[in-house]
Chains A and B, each alone.
Chain A
Amino acid sequence: MRTWFPYPLLSFGLLLIWLLLNQSVAPGTIVMGTVLATGLAWVTLKLSPVRSHPRRILLVLHFGLTVAFDVIRSNLAVTAVILRGRRRPPSSGFLTVDLDLDDENALALLACVMTATPGTAWLEYDRGRKSLLFHVLDMENEDVWLDTVKRYEAALKEIFG
């Protein structure tokens, strides 16, 4: 099984993307998609990406919903800051937080999430000291940001276990 499907999750994802792009679930599309998904997984084998084993699909869903909610809230907050204009310039600043994530894919996911949230920008991650430097637009509630990152970290740790 492993020789045929070295990255089952990746293959499944590619197949899903293929079906979505073609907008059909006709047998021909599925066959073509399966061939592509398997072949591309073999190609990826040469790149030897880091394996991780996300568990608990329900937790992933919960995490996704939390992130979506946070992104919407952050969108509104940043919009408010921009529209406020020069009258009250944003009190932006840098924050450092120690992360306890070993899984590379979990870190990548965290980077995506933090960049997708308009209020935070991922700047630098120090592998040796496992600390992350990020920039926040609104420093007024600095603890809330640190809490949020810690919350994400805990969720990712549970998912990637």
Chain B
Amino acid sequence: MSHLTDLPVWAAVLVCGLTVLGAAVALIGSVGLLRFTSFYERLHAPTLATSGGVLLICTASIICFAVLQSRWVFHEILIIVFVVVTTPVTLMLLGQAALYRDRVEEKRGVPLKQRPTREEPTE
């Protein structure tokens, strides 16, 4: 693990590229969190990090350690699976809380509690 210098050049370039790209995606997600104006828009930004960012960085990790130890390394896939499976829990909770609060405060542009008629999408 401490012999990162043993990495051949092609692998080093690939690993660096993927890591930097993944970090960039995560950073863009955070910037989005800052730039978006409404709570619901902000729900979208962190998913960039949990989908694209995690995918790219884990791929980089797989390639790095597979090349270093010259065998297949798969357990990073578990990280991807667990992140994808657990994020919806938090995001749905946050989304529902926001929806509840906005409905209580009767904010404009928030869909009402489901009525018998099919509601129109609001802008």
Least CB distance from A8 to B in Å reads 19
Interface residues of B in 95-117 (CB under 8 A from A): 95-96, 99, 110-111, 114
Interface residues of A in 79-93 (CB under 8 A from B): 79, 81-83, 85-86, 89-93
In the bound complex, residues from chain B placing their C-beta under 8 Å from that of A121 are 40, 43-44, 47, 91, 95
Q: Does A119 lie within 8 Å of B121, measured CB to CB? A: no
A32 within 8 A of B: no
A78 within 8 A of B: yes
A123 within 8 A of B: yes
Least CB distance from A75 to B in Å reads 4
A149 within 8 A of B: no
Q: Does A90 lie within 8 Å of B25, measured CB to CB? A: no
User: Of B41, B87, B95, which contacts A137 at CB under 8 A?
Assistant: B41
Q: Does A17 lie within 8 Å of B78, measured CB to CB? A: yes
A111 within 8 A of B: yes
B2 within 8 A of A: no
CA–CA, A142 to B47, complex, Å? 20
B73 within 8 A of A: yes
In the bound complex, residues from chain B placing their C-beta under 8 Å from that of A137 are 41, 44
Q: Does A20 lie within 8 Å of B92, measured CB to CB? A: no
Q: Does A89 lie within 8 Å of B28, measured CB to CB? A: no
B122 within 8 A of A: yes
In the bound complex, residues from chain B placing their C-beta under 8 Å from that of A139 are 121, 123
- A residues contacting B by CB (< 8 A) are 17, 20-21, 23, 71-72, 75, 78-79, 81-83, 85-86, 89-96, 98, 111-112, 114-124, 126, 129, 131, 133, 135, 137, 139, 142
A–B complex contacts, Cβ < 8 Å, 30 sampled: A23-B73, A71-B51, A78-B32, A82-B29, A85-B35, A89-B37, A90-B41, A92-B38, A92-B41, A93-B123, A94-B111, A94-B121, A111-B92, A112-B88, A114-B88, A115-B91, A116-B47, A116-B51, A116-B87, A118-B48, A119-B44, A120-B44, A123-B40, A123-B95, A124-B95, A124-B96, A124-B99, A126-B114, A129-B114, A133-B111
